[in-house]
Each structure stands twice: as structure tokens, then as C-alpha cells.
Amino acid sequence: MRFRNWLMRVMAGRYGAMGMDKLNRALNIAALILLVLSLFLGRTGVGSLIWLLALACLVWGTFRSLSRNIRGRQRENEAFLGFTRNFTGTFRGMRDRFAQRKEYRFFRCPSCRTWLRVPRGRGKLNITCRQCGERFTRST
């Protein structure tokens, strides 16, 4: 109980007291993967370099958790989320289109490249893009 109270006093006003954000979680996962990889590579030059990268990830994550500059750490996390949003959104869209492939056909708008979903088995349809208003005909 005394250790918990001491830890709460130390972490008061620090970024880590608010919980773990996505960037810290990614740093910890990257450090774990790099450490395991460095174990397999052994004491080679590449293995040592990967071990140093893992150590840098752990140090950066610890620094972020102990930092009192909460707004700065939030900006770092927002920048990380903005950077990863492009990747995760692309894969999420692919997964959703794959799951719905039996009920729907997916087409890209020829002008703005937006994905459009159309029910299967309706024959030839005139499709209107909801983004740009482009009209085109496709067979479902």
C-alpha cells in the first residue's frame, strides 16, 4: 500500500498517469519484436543494432510516460495517429469489402476514385457517385 501511494505521488501530473496511448503501445510492441529479433540474430553487428533500436524504443516510451509536458505528448500521439490512419483505413476498407463481397459489388468512381457499393444481381445499373456526382454504368 505504501508503494502504491508513493507511485501515485511520483506520477501525479505526468503523462503516464493518464494511461497508455497508442504511440506508447506501438513503441512497446516494436521494442518487444526488436528484442526477440535481436535474440535470434545473436551477437552479430546487425543483432546489436537491432538491440539498440529496441532500447531506444523503451527509453522513448519511458520518457513519454514520465514527461510533465502533457500537451506535447498529446500532439506526438495525434501526429502518430494521423500517420497510421492512412494505413489502417486502407486495410480496414479492404477487409470490409472482402466481408461484403457476396451481397455487394464494389466499384471505383472513374473521376474521384471513391469506392461505391452496389447490390449484386441487379443487372446493368446507372451508378451516381455520392462524392462528385459522376454517373457511369456497370453490370452487377
Q: Does residue 85 contact residue 67 with C-beta atoms inside 8 Å?
A: no
pLDDT tens column, 31-79: 999 999 999 988 888 989 999 999 999 999 989 988 889 899 999 999 9
Q: Does residue 116 contact residue 109 with C-beta atoms inside 8 Å?
A: yes
Q: Are residues 47 and 80 in the same domain?
A: yes
Q: Are residues 58 and 16 in the same domain?
A: yes
Query: And the C-alpha cell for 97?
Result: 469489402
Q: Are residues 29 and 16 in the same domain?
A: yes
Q: Are residues 58 and 90 in the same domain?
A: yes
Q: Are residues 44 and 60 in the same domain?
A: yes
Q: Are residues 32 and 73 in the same domain?
A: yes
- What distance in Å separates the CA atoms of residue 70 and residue 129, rounded to the nearest whole number? 43
Place of cell 537491432: 50
Structural domains in the chain (count): 2
Q: Are residues 7 and 63 in the same domain?
A: yes
pLDDT tens column, 82-125: 988 877 878 888 899 999 999 999 999 988 888 999 999 888 98
Q: Are residues 68 and 119 in the same domain?
A: no
Q: Does residue 31 contact residue 58 with C-beta atoms inside 8 Å?
A: yes
Q: What is the pTM of this model?
A: 0.62
The number of C-alpha atoms within 13 Å of 119 and in the hemisphere containing its C-beta is 3
Q: Are residues 21 and 53 in the same domain?
A: yes
For residue 25, the enclosing domain spans: 2-99
- What distance in Å separates the CA atoms of residue 18 and residue 15, rounded to the nearest whole number? 6
